Amino acid sequence: MRMQTILAVVVIAACVASTASADDSGDAATLAYQVHTEHCADVAAAATSTKTAEQTAVVTDAWSTVIGVYESTGRSYLLYWRGLLAQCLGQEERAGQDLQLFVALEQYDQRFDSLIKDARRRLRRMKLDVSEPSPAQQDAARQARDAGGAWSLAKDSHALKAARAFPAVPLLLISAGGGYQRLGRFDYALVSADVSLRLIKMLRLEAGVRPGWSVSATNEAGASEPTGRYLLLDIVVGPVLEFAGPVRPRVGGMFHIAPNPAEVGGPKVLAGGQVVVGVDVPLGSPFVAFRVAAEIGNLGPMFNARVTGGLVVGIEPAARR
């Protein structure tokens, strides 16, 4: 009976230790992802300011944390995050070694497809003479990884989420597309063009134009009637929140104004506000995406609803590490 009790205690302790280890590595990966997304672009720009020094200190602390957790857990995906933070701090040789070792260890593991692709891309950009990890280095890393036990998606769910490394939304987004608009009793086919500038983190300022051509109108009895074709030149501007991730949800508010010289359904100038919701779906790159958006509000005295879709191209002029 005493022996059974001892064995039970040992098993419980092993399970707790395994879970704690998984949590530590997952937390370290999540920390590295957040720090890299929020601070590395500014650190890489090498601006000489107090703010940059503080950001460098934050990245350094996160790098030290990842180093320590990797040494205690051996989780191979932490090599990727250790390499990213080292690159952010200008330690490109160390970054190259970590990324090269990570690729050598996990290049056939489909769970890490996005990481492997990004690591290879970074290695190509570095153009460093980084030699392949020696068999001894690979064996040591595999032993450290295997000592932590089988990798569990359930235990390391935070690490898996963080491992899907998608860079922050680019500084400038330019989009073009088309769609449908319902304004009062008028239907419009439209094209859209927008420019969006990142102000701080996920807050952006967006401006655009929505020229639309009326298709038909409906009288109060609900029957169609000929109306001719009217051009509605709707100009929009307002704040938008766009969230980084495997897809990029968007939500915001827009002020818009449109000349109405024919005074169709209202005065000569129509103005109003609307709520915007949508999503950008990256097409294999954070710099090219497909956008779907819906807008609901008013324009002058009339209810306004609009659905658009189109292509988005991102521009990030700052140096990225």
Select from 84, 92, 104, 96 the least CA-distant residue to 145. Answer: 104
- The count of other CB atoms within 10 Å of the CB of residue 218 is 14
Cα-to-chain-centroid distance, residue 20: 28
For the chain, where do the domains classified as CATH 2.40.160.20 start and end? 172-315
The CATH class, in words, for 172-315 is mainly beta
Select from 163, 70, 66 the least CA-distant residue to 118. Answer: 163
Question: Torsion-angle region of residue 93: left (phi > 0), alpha (psi -120 to 50) or beta?
Answer: alpha
**Token pair listed for 228:** 């001719």
Question: Please, what sign has the CA dihedral across residues 17, 29, 155, 100?
Answer: negative
CA angle 297, 226, 221 (to 5 degrees): 65
190, 203 contact by CB (below 8 A)? no
Residue with tokens 């330019």: 174
**Token pair listed for 180:** 């449908």
Q: Name the helix (H) or strand (E) containing 180.
A: strand 172-183
> Residue 167 has what pLDDT?
52
Residue with tokens 């692709």: 117
- 134-to-97, 119, 137, 172 alpha-carbon distances in Å: 11, 18, 5, 42
**Token pair listed for 106:** 């996990």
Strands 302-315 and 186-200: unpaired
Mean pLDDT by 10 residues, the chain (321 residues): 35 34 72 82 59 81 89 84 88 87 77 78 76 69 62 45 56 95 90 93 92 72 56 94 86 94 80 96 84 96 95 73 38
**Token pair listed for 123:** 């290695």
Specify the 3-state DSSP secondary structure of 253.
strand
55, 39 contact by CB (below 8 A)? yes
> Residue 49 has what pLDDT?
52
Cα-to-chain-centroid distance, residue 191: 26
Could you write out the DSSP letters of every residue in 113-146?
HHHHHHHHHHHHHHT---PPPPHHHHHHHHHHHH
Residues linked to residue 313 through DSSP beta bridges, in sequence order: 174, 288
Q: What pTM did the predictor assign?
A: 0.52
In whole angstroms, what is the distance from residue 111 CA to residue 32 CA? 18
In whole angstroms, what is the distance from residue 257 CA to residue 200 CA? 26
